[in-house]
Structure 1
């Protein structure tokens, strides 16, 4: 919880950043974010460092910082106007920038550094961040992509029905007796989600073969999306292991209803997340989050970016 006095100082600092850099995606600003820790309360800066270094739980909720919001929830992400969320976006990028380097995908929302998660009419049942009544099943962001984010941040703009974001950390799950060996093998098919495919101009389904666990056996990282992940057909052992893993994660499921101004930072390797269903009204007052991705190593995606300074990762190199 950010104390009221600290919140007032933070809002003043964000206004100064906005006056200096004008846009949150200003390259000079982005290259200096990691050095702006002094703009944050010491206890928050310390908690961000613990999350970055994986010395804490894999999610951090920051409360107590509110912003004026006079613009309606856009009917589509294409309708977002930068000036309407200026301080929100400087705040989100400031805290995310303490965890690593901000980046985006060319195949998502025209490569914007901060994206919108909001209901779009016609996508109600889709397994995407743009759905509503269909809910959004457990997943890590972009599990099919080796350059996926290490962390991401969510900033709640509106959440009138207090719709819960659902979370499950592998750190909390009981893995004893789990068939870990098979889960570390590439015996699973992960489909590229339709939002990425649409952004790449691809109509056909694309499936990549991947393991669903990685890293160390004692503290594995997750790489899956329940809606788009299945065992290789005929591999009964892999299918059983996948179902067992899901049951163990479901057993430690928790939920958080983000209030306007709340920020939620998530480790994209240690925790799966999703969203409960809600009914969109399409009246300008629907649930609306801003979303930003962070990598610990921007150089990892250098072959897919146009230059060292470019933070937009190009299309997925399919077939490689």
Structure 2
């Protein structure tokens, strides 16, 4: 993983120390092999997700203490990096073809990748599902889909997926409250040409790079987030559904939070529009970038920063790029108003 810049926290902040905004974690071969042996013996975790995640916590608790703590600290402290690349993870011995309909695959007979994804997720919090994103599945297959190739969604490939947070429509008018605290992205198969890049821009780096007047505008409630593309497509008949006015950047100066919707942001003034354009430019300037390969996973803090994806060529031949993703909350308690009647991990 390489960074284009590392600004640290703003000079005017009162942070106790300068922090790195990305991290790299590599498992030793012996640790990878020990995990692989245990994960290969597990059944499909979707059969009994609570039991599976309990067993996976036991397995991942056998990681070396330094690595175990680094992942735990990623999820629990305000001053830790916003993104971490975990490498040399176990992989499935064989993979079926990449799904072409958005997944999940019905041909997958081993579940090592799912175990890796849920095991890492469990160290950060609780995996959650959302009915309007992958039909409430806890494990999302992120693959190119022919009909979505030019959309600002995870089905896309032909257009740059703009810097964004993963958000969700909410009748309370705020799309940045019940959204995931973290995402975990695990690579099962790279794209044909190996060029698909995932980018992460940390709000600390962004704030440090912005002119003070622009930052002040972005911290003002002058923006309305559009609902995610999946909600607009599947629920709203293609019509825009906007949030209440919110700021783009909020929170403590040293430890800011950022929220941008991939499907569009509506600035309420000309100054807000200009600030939004500058924000996207600065995101590109400060972003960390990585080209995910099998055996690698990204831990992404969905509040500390925003992420993006480059274009790549999809062939829809069963060998396209295939990631798996989880949405993770530190706790499901404060989104209990959204829980569905038939599944306590799946929300409206």
Q: Please report the TM-score for the alignment, with normalisation by the length of structure 2.
A: 0.82
The answer on whether the counterparts of 2:56 and 2:115 sit within 8 Å (CA) in structure 1 is no
Q: Does 1:186 align with 2:238?
A: no
The answer on whether the counterparts of 1:132 and 1:280 sit within 8 Å (CA) in structure 2 is yes
Change in Cα spacing, 1:23 to 1:227, as seen in structure 2 (3 Å) is closer
Paired with 2:213 and 2:287, the residues of 1 have a C-alpha distance of 18
Aligned-residue CA RMSD (Å): 2.3
Q: What SS does the aligned partner of 2:286 have? A: coil
The answer on whether the counterparts of 1:25 and 1:113 sit within 8 Å (CA) in structure 2 is no
Which consecutive unaligned segments of at least 5 residues does structure 2 have?
Answer: 1-25, 169-174
* Residue 230 of structure 1: how far off its partner (Å): 2.8
The answer on whether the counterparts of 2:89 and 2:295 sit within 8 Å (CA) in structure 1 is yes
Aligned pair partner of 2:189 in 158, 161, 164: 158
Q: Which residue of 1 aligns with 2:20?
A: none
Matches within 5 A, 1:1-320: 1-16=26-41, 18-19=42-43, 23=46, 26-30=49-53, 34=57, 37-54=60-77, 55-67=79-91, 68-78=93-103, 80-81=105-106, 83-84=108-109, 86-142=111-167, 144-159=175-190, 160-162=192-194, 163-173=196-206, 174=208, 175=210, 177-200=212-235, 202-209=237-244, 210-225=246-261, 227-232=263-268, 235-306=269-340, 310-314=344-348
Q: What SS does the aligned partner of 1:10 have? A: helix
* Residue 269 of structure 1: how far off its partner (Å): 1.0
Q: After superposing the two structures, state which structure 1 stretch, 145-154 or 69-78, moved more.
A: 69-78
* Residue 191 of structure 1: how far off its partner (Å): 0.8
Paired with 1:308 and 1:73, the residues of 2 have a C-alpha distance of 30
Paired with 2:280 and 2:95, the residues of 1 have a C-alpha distance of 41
Paired with 1:47 and 1:161, the residues of 2 have a C-alpha distance of 32
The answer on whether the counterparts of 1:33 and 1:98 sit within 8 Å (CA) in structure 2 is no
Q: What SS does the aligned partner of 2:272 have? A: helix
Q: Which residue of 1 aligns with 2:10?
A: none
The answer on whether the counterparts of 1:23 and 1:86 sit within 8 Å (CA) in structure 2 is no
The answer on whether the counterparts of 1:24 and 1:93 sit within 8 Å (CA) in structure 2 is no
Which consecutive unaligned segments of at least 5 residues does structure 1 have?
Answer: 315-320
Q: After superposing the two structures, state which structure 1 stretch, 26-35 or 5-14, moved more.
A: 26-35
Q: Please report the TM-score for the alignment, with normalisation by the length of structure 1.
A: 0.88
Paired with 2:99 and 2:27, the residues of 1 have a C-alpha distance of 28
Paired with 1:289 and 1:59, the residues of 2 have a C-alpha distance of 17
CA deviations 1:253-307 (Å, max 9, x no partner) are 2321011121111011112111111111111110110010111121111111135
* Residue 248 of structure 1: how far off its partner (Å): 2.5
CA deviations 1:88-141 (Å, max 9, x no partner) are 101110111100111010111111001011111121111111111113111111
* Residue 250 of structure 1: how far off its partner (Å): 2.2
